[in-house]
Amino acid sequence: MRLIVVSNRLPIRLVREDRGWTSQPASGGLVTALSPVLRNRGGIWIGWPGVAGDFDEGEILGPASREAGHRLHPVRLSEVELKSFYHGFTNQIIWPLFHDLFTRCNFSSDFWRTYLKINARFADAIIQHHQPDDYVWVQDYHLMQVGHLLRRRGHGRYRTGFFLHIPFPPPDVFVKLPWRSQILRGLLDYDLVGFQTIRDRRNFVHCLRHLVREAKVQGRGPVISVRYGDRMLRLGCFPIGIGFDEFSEVAKRPETAERVAALREAHGTSQLMLSVDRLDYTKGIPERLEGFRRALARYPSLHEKITLIQQVVPSRDSVPEYQRLQTDIETLIAKINGQFTRPGWIPVHYLYRSMPREELVAHYRAADIGLITPLKDGMNLVAKEFCACDVDRSGALILSEFAGAAIQLRTGALLVNPYDYEGVAEAIRRAFLMPPEERRMRMHKLRTSVRKTDIAWWADSFMEAAFARTLHDFPHDERDLTEDFPRQHQHAAAGRRDPSGRRAGAGA
Ligand code: GDG
C-alpha cells in the first residue's frame, strides 16, 4: 500500500535564480505537519511547486525528491489561473468564510469556475500516478472537489481521504456560500473526511442537516458514519500535532542553549514574551498589540520588565489587503514603542521575516511567555511548538479560546478572548506574575498533551479510521526516487548540488 498526499503546495518552493531554478523548503503549518509523515517513507506528494513559470521537472524535482525521501510531482498553474484559483476562490472566499469573516468574501462565479477546473487538473495528476492499492490523502480547502471528480471518473476505484486544516463554519455562515451544496456534496464523495475539532465536525453535520437532507449521520465518538446514497462514508476528528520529539531534541542541544543565552542577554529585560504568526488577519496581530498596549498602560510595573518579540512571517504579500495589514501592524508597533520606550528598553521587538528552524526553536526556548491569540484558527501549531521547546517547564502559555488547540490545551494555558483587550492585558499580567511552581505544573500538563497527540499519532489516527491500519503498514518504498522523471534529466541533475548542499545523486 502506498500513500499519495495531495495538497495545493508541494513542500518545496521553486525559485528562479540567475543560473536557473533552485528549490527551497516551503513554509506554513500544513508543510510542517506533513513533511515528517512522508519523510523517507516513499510515496508521492502531488502539488503546485510555488511558481507559475516554465521549469524543467526532472532537473529540479528529481534531486528534491531524493532529499525529501518521497517523490514530488508538480501540478502546473499559469499566472491567470493562480489569480482566480489561489488568490481568488481559496483566499477571497473559502479562507475568510471558514474563519467566520464573510464580510471579506468576494463571491465571484469566475473564481468558482476556475476552482473546478484546477481541482480537475489535480484529479488528473492523481489518476496519472495512481497504482492499485494506493491510498489518496487530499489536504485542505483548496481541493474539496477532488474526491468528487475522482469518484465520477473512477466509479469508486480510488480510496480517498480528506483532511480540513482550517475550521468548518457554523450553518448561518456557511449558507452564504453560493456553491454551498456542491461543496458539501463534493466532500461526501470522499471515503473519510477529517476535521481538527469536534466543533468543526458538528458544524459540518449541522450544515448537512440543512442542505443535504438525504445524508443520514449515524453513531457517536471520534469517528461517525454517514449514509449517502448507496454508500457509507466516515467523519472523524483528528487534531493535528507536531513532531514533539524533534522540537524537544533541538531545544535541548547545547548550541540552542548558547543561542538562548545570547538572546536573553541581548534583550536584557526580566521576561520575554513571544508571538509567531504568518501575516494574516485571522491571526489577530493588531488586536494582540492593542492588548499589550493596554497592559503597559494599566500596569506600569511591567515597564522595563517585559518585551514582546513579534515575529511575522511574510505571506500572500502581493495581495493589497495583506500589505495594508502589514502597514497597520507596523503603525501600531511604532505607536507602542513611541509611547513606552525608555533608555535600554523597547517594548516591542519586531521581526518581519522567516528564520531557520533552529533559530525559531531558540526563540521558543528563550521566551518566558507564549502569546498566541488568533481570532480563529484550525489548530495553531505554534502553540504546540512553544510547549515542546519549553524543556525547562518554565514558560506560561496565553492562548486564544478560538484556536483549535485550545480544546486540548485548555487546562494548562491561560485562555483569552482575543477581542477582549482588557482580558488579554490581564492575562499578560497574570502570566508575568505566575509563580515558577504553577508554571511548571501547567507546562507539564501542556507538554504531556502535545507529546501524546503528536504528528505520528495524528497520521495513525487518520489511517486507522480510514481502514484500521497505521502508518507503519505503508511499506518503505525502495525504488529510485527519480525514476518517474525522464532519464536525460537525471543525468543533468547528477553532480549538481541540491538545496541542502549535499551532492545530488548521492542516494536516498
Ligand atoms: C494551517 C492552519 C493549522 C513560523 N515561523 C517560522 C516557521 N513557522 C512555522 C511554525 C508552524 C507554522 O509555520 C505555522 O503553523 P500554524 O498552525 O500556526 O498556522 P498556518 O500556517 O495558518 O497553518 C492552522 C495548520 O494549518 C496545520 O493543520 O494548525 O490552523 O491555519 O509550524 O513553526 N517555520 C520556520 N521559520 C519561521 O520563521 N522554519
- Is the beta carbon of 381 within 6 A of some atom in ligand 1? yes
What domains are there in the chain, each with its CATH number? 3-237 (3.40.50.2000), 244-452 (3.40.50.2000)
Q: How much is the pLDDT for 2?
A: 86
Cα distances from 46 to residues 4, 225, 493, in angstroms, run 7, 28, 20
Q: How much is the pLDDT for 318?
A: 75
- Ligand 1 centroid–CA 469 distance in Å is 28
Section 457-478 average pLDDT: 71
* Adjacent-strand bridge partners of 230: none
- Is the beta carbon of 9 within 6 A of some atom in ligand 1? no
Q: How many CA atoms lie within 13 A of 337 on its CB side?
A: 17
Which residue is catalytic, options 189, 200, 377, 498? Answer: 377
Report helix, strand or coil for 347: coil
Report helix, strand or coil for 154: helix
H helix runs in 18-143, sequence order: 29-38, 57-68, 79-84, 95-98, 109-129
- Ligand 1 centroid–CA 383 distance in Å is 10
- Is the beta carbon of 30 within 6 A of some atom in ligand 1? yes
Answer whether residue 36 shows pLDDT above 90: no
What is the tens place of the pLDDT at every residue in 125-170?
Answer: 999 999 988 999 999 999 999 999 999 988 778 999 999 999 999 9
Q: How confident is the model at residue 274 (pLDDT cuts 50, 70, 90)?
A: very high
pTM attached to this predicted model: 0.90
What's the order of all strands across the beta sheet hosting 369-372?
348-352, 306-313, 271-278, 369-372, 396-400, 414-416
Considering the chain, what percentage of its residues have pLDDT values greater than 90? 73
Considering the chain, what percentage of its residues have pLDDT values greater than 70? 91
The span from the CA of 100 to the CA of 96, in Å, is: 6
Q: What region does 203 belong to: left with phi over 0, alpha with psi -120 to 50, or beta? A: alpha
What's the order of all strands across the beta sheet hosting 134-139?
71-74, 44-48, 2-9, 134-139, 159-163, 192-195, 231-237, 223-228, 216-218
Q: Is 165 a catalytic residue?
A: yes
Q: How much is the pLDDT for 475?
A: 52
Residue minimizing CA distance to atom 33 of ligand 1: 382
- Ligand 1 centroid–CA 28 distance in Å is 4
- Is the beta carbon of 316 within 6 A of some atom in ligand 1? no
What is the tens place of the pLDDT at every residue in 163-195?
Answer: 999 999 999 999 999 999 999 999 999 999 999
Residue minimizing CA distance to atom 22 of ligand 1: 29
Give the residue with greater pLDDT, 508 vs 239.
Answer: 239
Query: Given CA atoms 2, 201, 446, 355 in this order, what sign does their dihedral have?
Result: positive
Q: Which amino acid appears at position 340 of this protein? A: F
Which among 36-50, 99-113, 222-236 has the top mean pLDDT?
A: 99-113
Q: Is 377 a catalytic residue?
A: yes
- Is the beta carbon of 406 within 6 A of some atom in ligand 1? no
In the structure grid, which three cell numbers stand for residue 265, read together?
A: 542577554
Q: How much is the pLDDT for 25?
A: 79
In the structure grid, which three cell numbers stand for residue 128, read together?
A: 496519472
Minimum-distance ligand 1 atom for the alpha carbon of 196: 28
Q: How confident is the model at residue 473 (pLDDT cuts 50, 70, 90)?
A: low
Give the residue with greater pLDDT, 319 vs 447.
Answer: 447
The span from the CA of 157 to the CA of 361, in Å, is: 44
- Is the beta carbon of 36 within 6 A of some atom in ligand 1? no
- Ligand 1 centroid–CA 132 distance in Å is 34
What is the tens place of the pLDDT at every residue in 379-436?
Answer: 999 999 999 999 999 999 999 999 999 999 999 999 999 999 999 999 999 999 999 9
In the structure grid, which three cell numbers stand for residue 268, read together?
A: 536584557
- Is the beta carbon of 276 within 6 A of some atom in ligand 1? yes
Q: Ligand 1 pocket: which of 381, 389, 407, 453 to mutate (most atoms <8 Å of CB)?
A: 381
- Is the beta carbon of 243 within 6 A of some atom in ligand 1? no
Spatial CB neighbours of 118, under 8 Å, sequence gap ≥ 6: 75, 77, 81, 85
Task: Tell me how many degrees the CA angle 309-381-140 measures, rounded to the nearest 5.
Answer: 130
- Ligand 1 centroid–CA 41 distance in Å is 23
Answer whether residue 499 shows pLDDT above 50: no
Q: What is the 3-state secondary structure (H, E, C) of 231-296?
A: EEEEEEECCCCCCHHHHHHHHHCHHHHHHHHHHHHHHCCCEEEEEEEECCHHHCHHHHHHHHHHHH
Nearest partner of 366 among 242, 245, 251, judged by Cα: 251
- Of the listed ranges 22-26, 209-213, 456-460, the least confidently predicted one is 22-26
Answer whether residue 494 shows pLDDT above 90: no
What is the tens place of the pLDDT at every residue in 342-352?
Answer: 999 999 999 99
